[in-house]
Chains A and B, each alone.
Chain A
Amino acid sequence: DADVTQTPRNRITKTGKRIMLECSQTKGHDRMYWYRQDPGLGLRLIYYSFDVKDINKGEISDGYSVSRQAQAKFSLSLESAIPNQTALYFCATSRGGAGETQYFGPGTRLLVL
């Protein structure tokens, strides 16, 4: 089984709709992240959380919100989706500490019409 899972894997929605992307991990990591990836722009950080009670904005948090329901779960919401939120969204986790690395989920491909 994958250590970091994301649901849904693909989603098509309409402008103005609310949508939630979910991420779960079995790695036991405290730190979780949401990124979006657009062609030519690379990975950009939306939100991150270092533990259940910690939520931090990333580079491009406007239009997004998150919830850290448990150590293993980190959800990303688009309250009112717009077409320029069409992108590939990745969840990632890390252990923290010296030499930490990030482990990514398989991604959610979102299309906003």
Chain B
Amino acid sequence: RKEVEQDPGPFNVPEGATVAFNCTYSNSASQSFFWYRQDCRKEPKLLMSVYSSGNEDGRFTAQLNRASQYISLLIRDSKLSDSATYLCVVIISSTGNQFYFGTGTSLTVIP
């Protein structure tokens, strides 16, 4: 079983739409959570950390549900520039703080 699971999509949404991605993790020792963004043929870049209380950065909102072991990313008012693959990442303390990456969810925002 993979440590991190994501719906690969693709998600195709019109400009201005709201879109949400979920990611589930299997190890309860997961201690830190992130969303990364990866553009085609480029390196992943940190989008935002995910805190237990939930956090917001402009149009992006991340939430963590420890009881159900999932994290989510909500994008409001989608822009064409949001088109990318979004990677869910967890750090698991019982594995020496290794990073585990989901396979990514592909988003295309359509004009």
Q: Is A101 an interface residue (CB 8 A)?
A: yes
Cβ-defined partner of B101 (8 Å) among A42, A96, A99, A103: A42
The count of residues in chain B whose C-beta lies closer than 8 Å to any C-beta of chain A is 21
Q: Is A90 an interface residue (CB 8 A)?
A: yes
Tell me if A101 and B103 are in contact (CB < 8 A). no
Q: Is B71 an interface residue (CB 8 A)?
A: no
Tell me if B98 and A48 are in contact (CB < 8 A). yes
**Interface class of chain A by DSSP:** strand
The chain B residue sitting closest to A43, CB to CB, is: B101
Residues of A within 8 A of B41 (CB): 88, 107, 109
Tell me if B46 and A101 are in contact (CB < 8 A). yes
A77-113 CB mask vs B (1 if < 8 Å, else 0) is 0000000000010100010100111111111010000
The chain A residue sitting closest to B103, CB to CB, is: A42
Residues of A within 8 A of B91 (CB): 100
20 further A-B pairs in the complex, CB-CB below 8 A; given A48-B98, A58-B98, A102-B89: A35-B101, A40-B8, A41-B103, A42-B87, A42-B102, A42-B104, A43-B44, A45-B99, A56-B96, A88-B41, A90-B43, A94-B99, A99-B49, A100-B91, A104-B44, A104-B45, A105-B43, A106-B43, A107-B41, A107-B42
